[in-house]
Every structure is written in structure tokens, then in C-alpha cells.
Amino acid sequence: MTATIIDGRAFAARLRDRIGAQVRALQSAHGLTPGLAVVLVGEDPASQVYVRNKGRQTVETGMASFEHRLPDTTPEPELLALIDRLNADPKVHGILVQLPLPAHMNAASVINRIDPAKDVDGFHISNVGLLGTGQKAMVPCTPLGCLMMLRDHLGDLSGCDAVVVGRSNIVGKPMAQLLLGASATVTIAHSRTRDLPATCRRADILIAAVGRAEMIPGDWLKPGATVIDVGINRIPAPERGEGRTRLVGDVAFDSAAQVAGAITPVPGGVGPMTIACLLANTLTATCRAHALPDPEGLTP
């Protein structure tokens, strides 16, 4: 078998087009422009790239982008005061504080200071609780993107055996909640799972969110399984020249593509969907702030 490639880049581009059209409709019907505030503390190079991409794509979909860059010596109360101002600002519908934060800050208290209705990352404890109890929540972007791709590829997920490898608060756990909400039968595997290969082989849907390069080979997969590879790992690539590197997922793509029915590549799979879902959440937050119905097709 040679798997269908689930093209996250193309999917994300279509999603951004749909969001752009919905933003224009919201502007003409209600005079509303969704606004996303992104806060970056410090100079982490990877975070700077993410923040730049987020700002660019926000503007491209017709939303307002507000960037706040603070030095990494910023005292936590100063960051909390900025979040309070953004919470109170009616032009700001979504707030994202780029993680990781400098070591002197408590990420949980910072995230929990964001108004849950503006928490477009879905990390606030209230949104975690709402998702866990099956209520309307702001849903973390990466798992939301995975769910959208799964629905697009498989349609109804009800009754499918889904295995999520990884139990982090930002990917594994919310992914499992979303799959449960879609009536899949869900197993969460982690570093203490006794027989990971056998657990993976049961999966109609396998989500890999571990952070270990090419850890899951093709012979751990059920033939025909749908594989969503969240992992982003940088490995040496001497074949590209001395000191060069390349990105790979948590799944060994070449062997997995011989067994799976469908698979997301790395790069070009889950990654592009994450920012697109951030824009989707900002639009959803804007509609909810104005008591309008949720935008079509952007929520679980």
C-alpha cells in the first residue's frame, strides 16, 4: 500500500481563504474587524519567526494584528498589566502569549490572566475544563487542526479506534478530548505504556505527538491507518552538506507510507494548520464576543 499524503499546506491555504471570506462578511454585515494581539517576551529566535508568521497571516486574512514585544528582563507584573489592558480592549478579540516565557515568569499564572473568551490558544484552565466536559471552549490550535484534517479525510470518526501517543497539555490531552468528542474510542499512550507497538497497531487513527525523531516505524501501524504526525524534530542531514539539518516527524515516513492509508508529512502536514487554526479561533472569539453564531466549519 502507498498512503495518500494529507497535504497540510494546501488544507491550511484553503482554510485561510475561507476565514478571509468570513472576515469580509463579518465586516460588511456588522462592521466588525477581528483583532489578534500577540505578546512576545524575550528574543528566542524560533518564537520570533512564529510571531512574524502569525502577524503576517493575520493581516492577510483581513484581521487586525497587534504585536507587543517585551524584553526578557520584563518583570511578571508588567506582563500581567499588559494582559489586563488587552483583556479590556474591545478591538482585541484574541490574545496569544508566545511560549516559552523567560524562566523568572510563571507561565500558568500568565496564561490564566487572559480572559478565557480571548484565550485563542485554548490553554486557560477554564477552556481546559470546558473542553474536558464537552462544552463550548476555545480549543488548542494544533489538535483542532488535526481534527479538521481527520474529518476532511475520514468524515465521521465515530467508533474509530484512535491512539494518541503523547499526553502533553498542549497536544496529547486536548487531542484525546476532541477525538472522544467525535465519538472515537481513544487510547492515550506515553513513555510508560507497556507495549507501544501493539497499542499503535490497534489504531485506525494514530496521532504521534512525542518529539522523538522517526520513533514510530511502519510495522507499528495497522494497514490502512490514518496517521497524523505532530512531531517536529531537527536531525543532522550530512547528505545536504556539512552541518546541514532537516526536519522529520515522530513517524518514520518512508516505511509508514508503505502501510498507512493516509499520512501527514513533516514538514507540510500539521505545522501549517496550527497558525490557520489560530486565525479560526480569533474569528470564533470575535463572533462569540458579539453574541453571533459560531463561524461555519471552524469549531469542533
Binding-site member from 172, 174, 218, 265 for ligand NDP (CB under 6 A): 172
By CB under 6 A, how many residues form the interface with ligand NDP? 25
112 binds ligand NDP (CB under 6 A): no
Rounded to 5 degrees, what angle do the CA atoms 244, 227, 246 make?
Answer: 5
Q: Which of 2, 4, 183, 191 binds ligand NDP (CB under 6 A)?
A: 191
Alpha-carbon gap, residue 278 to 11, rounded angstroms: 14
Tell me which of 45, 192, 243, 296 binds ligand NDP, using CB under 6 A.
Answer: 192
What residues have CB less than 8 Å from 250, skipping those under 6 apart?
165, 208, 209, 210, 211, 212, 213, 214, 215, 216, 229, 230, 231, 233
d(CA 258, CA 249): 16
Which 79-108 positions form the footprint of ligand NDP (CB under 6 A)?
none
Residue from 196, 221, 260, 287 binding ligand NDP (CB under 6 A): 196
The secondary structure of 174-202 as a DSSP string is: HHHHHHHHTT-EEEEE-TT-S-HHHHHHT
146 touches ligand NDP by CB under 6 A: no
Least separation in angstroms between residue 145's CB and ligand NDP is 7
Determine the residue with CB nearest ligand NDP: 168
Beta strands 226-229 and 233-236 are unpaired
* Subset of 197-226 contacting ligand NDP (CB under 6 A): 209-212
In this chain, which of 34, 94, 122, 166 binds ligand NDP, going by CB under 6 A? Answer: 166
Residue 167 interacts with ligand NDP (CB under 6 A): yes or no = yes
Rounded to the nearest 10 degrees, the angle between the axes of helix 141-154 and helix 8-30 is 110
Give 103 or 291: the residue with its C-beta nearer to ligand NDP.
103
Please, is 91 exposed, middle or buried when counting C-beta atoms within 10 Å of its C-beta (0-12, 13-18, 19+)? exposed
CB 169 to ligand NDP: min, Å = 8
Q: Which is nearer to ligand NDP, 62 or 264 (CB)?
A: 264
Q: Which residues bind ligand NDP (CB under 6 A)?
A: 142, 165-168, 170-172, 189-193, 196, 209-212, 230-233, 270-271, 274
